[in-house]
Amino acid sequence: MNRLLISLVAGLAASVAQAGDSFRFASIDGGMIDLADWRGKPVLVVNTASLCGYAGQFDGLQTLHERFGDRALILAVPSNDFEQELEDEAAVKEYCALTFDLTLPMTEITHVKGAEAHPFYAWLKEETGFVPRWNFNKALIGPDGEVVATFGAPVAPESAAIAGRIEALLE
């Protein structure tokens, strides 16, 4: 009987373990963005802020979105954790559409650090120790749901470090 109980508990623990492709975000357009829908493909998750000095990277993120299409997910996660985001989702969506002509998927304004961090970011911290230290930090999740790499704000989305890595994951 004890072996059966131990086996059941071990099985439950294994099923509870998460990978980076098992999280959901509230979409800025309504509904949910489910990373499980992208299982088997690379996912680049970027915490963004409209008023940040790195906001020009939206252009690079859009370029990646257009380049990789449905072969990879490029996901912008607006956050006000560094006090550089607009007041609400409608303002963020309008600003990004008008200023950068963004069509890539975006989440609602989301916490990326601290006690209120989205479960994806809590998992990222637990798995790698990585916590965004500023806006436009990036996490690349591989097709297997594991963290491939993390990048700070200065690393441009279209750089070989990021775009090249996504391309390699697609081969």
Enumerate the active-site residues: 52
* Cα–Cα distance measured from residue 150 to residue 137, given in angstroms and rounded to the nearest whole number: 8
Asked if 166 and 64 count as a contact pair (C-beta separation under 8 A), the reply is yes
Could you tell me where the DSSP H helices lie in the chain?
A: 2-16, 57-68, 89-100, 119-128, 165-170
Q: Counting Cβ atoms within 10 Å, is residue 65 exposed (0-12), middle (13-18) or buried (19+)?
A: buried
- Residue 42 phi/psi, 5-degree rounding, is -65, 150
Torsion of CA 32, 35, 36, 41, to 10 degrees: 140
